[in-house]
Chains A and B, each alone.
Chain A
Amino acid sequence: MLIRRPPDIRESEVTDEGLYISRRQFIRRAAAAGAGLGLAATASPLAACGSDAGASSLAVQDDELTPYDVVTGYNNFYEFGTGKDDPAQNAHTLKTRPWAVTVEGECNKPGVYDIEDLLKRYPGEERIYRLRCVEAWSMVIPWLGFPLSDFINDLEPTSRARFVEFRTLYDPEQMPGQRRAVLDWPYVEGLRMDEAMHPLTLLSVGLYGEMLPNQNGAPIRLVVPWKYGFKSIKSIVSLRFTREMPRTSWAQQAPNEYGFYANVNPEVEHPRWSQARERRLGEFRRRETLMFNGYAEQVAHLYEGMDLRTNY
């Protein structure tokens, strides 16, 4: 078992906490003001974030941020209940420290990786992504995190690794929703290796410039912005490189509705929700859903030659 102990970050890289907090408040207020007035809250919050962690060029530039209260108050996280406000109410029972991610399978560097070490090793950056839920609502969220590919590169997957499988914590004491067999716990998600290595794919540890609130998948979660939200697994405790396609939770639960790929696709019908349009939370009128959630330019090549109707 290998536990990495990278050097601590330099003093100069750490923002003074007072300054940090005031900056966060500014961002939130600016975003709220933008939302309230119906203005595009682009320039000010983005500029402020940019000064901090180096905003990625991959971030969405033209979309208004979803207010913090909505991002942290309207969640699908069945481990804490199936109502949208259940996670915000119940997730306080989750203990996010100590926390470790176990790495197994087809790689040269399996082991147990402590969350603190991951945070020190991989510099966070701000990524503003659209999040599209299969239930036809969407948000725009300023995530903090690092590319999954950075982590994977260090784990040295072997040539036999074709998929990455992720697991959420299973602990009904901390996650009361797991006391009922709503899903086959623990929650499992997976990506093909090329999807996992894509520069858009993020391991997130925060949002709106602060640590991830528990209801958003603390302390570490996946964010895959061109896929339906359920792919972006929360509170990850294990990562496994596999040869076989992982048996992911929702695809197990209702295989006719949810596939392994779950790419946002307005043309592939879902028996319950039209995927052609979505409601951006905070907006009144529905808007057209974009192919790959608007990230077609970056990711469409991953699926060339694939029938996206059968590989939904």
Chain B
Amino acid sequence: MNVERRTSNAERRRARRWVERSVRGSIFLLALVPLVRIAVQGFTGGLGGNPIEEMLHRTGWWALAFLILTLSVTPARRLTRIGWLVKLRRMLGLYAFFYATVHFAVYVGVDQFFAWDYILEDIGERPYITVGFTALLILAPLAATSTKRMIKRLGGRRWNRLHRLVYIAAALGVLHFLWLVKADIREPVIFGAILATLLGYRLAAGPYKRLARLKWFGNSRLSIREAEEQGR
């Protein structure tokens, strides 16, 4: 009886792990689709009359979209009570940083063709570029400390505090978009509204007490995997 139960538990765990892995794998591949499309259309003339601008707009759009998706993980997890969703968060966050980096690289290397004088002037004097660049600067250390090792090294509380900067980066990203458009502010406003909803949810729902009690990443004796299992 006991033995049987243990095996069925193990099977269930295995099945769950399989689902997790497939979901993560699929999202990993899906997240590359926008980039592949941009590249393919870029080579086949499918990006319209001003392909460089189109590349900038699309990579920027996806950076912001992934940032919003990253910030949706925690609310989604709390609402669905599917704990392992947290495992998607790092990947989505890294994709946000990835698209933001490609966005910046296209701006520097293609749009401006390394004209540093103009680039520095843009960053310093054009508010929408100033805030966009600031958002990228904020995301960089978050990406750098996204590994399990860095989480352990920083300790959960400090890591959490550092990674709260993602809210500022996302807000600056929305502002970057809003200040870019000339008159039609529909899209940046939609991004802003989603971001505000996600932040509002966090304020309204309060801290995730159950996880806090488990000392989520705080207990250095508790491995991430164990913490994730318990947090489920």
Contact = CB atoms under 8 A, between A and B. Distances in A.
Interface in B166-184: 179-184
A271 B125 CA distance: 7
Contacts of A274: 118, 121-122, 126
B126 A271 contact: yes
Contacts of B126: 271-274
A276 B118 contact: yes
Given A73-B48, A274-B121, 7 more contacts: A74-B48, A74-B49, A82-B183, A253-B183, A272-B179, A274-B122, A284-B113
Interface string B40-53: 00000000111011
B112 interface: yes
Contacts of A253: 183
B113 A286 contact: yes
Contacts of A281: 49-50
Interface in B71-99: none
Interface string A38-73: 000000000000000000000000000000011001
A277 B113 CA distance: 12
Contacts of A269: 125
Interface string A232-276: 000000000000000000000110000000000000010111101
8 contacts: A73-B49, A74-B49, A269-B125, A274-B126, A276-B118, A279-B53, A284-B110, A286-B115
A284 B122 CA distance: 19
Contacts of B179: 272
Nearest to A270: B126
A82 B128 CA distance: 19
A137 interface: yes
Contacts of B184: 78, 82, 180, 182
A94 to B, nearest CB: 20
B125 A286 contact: no
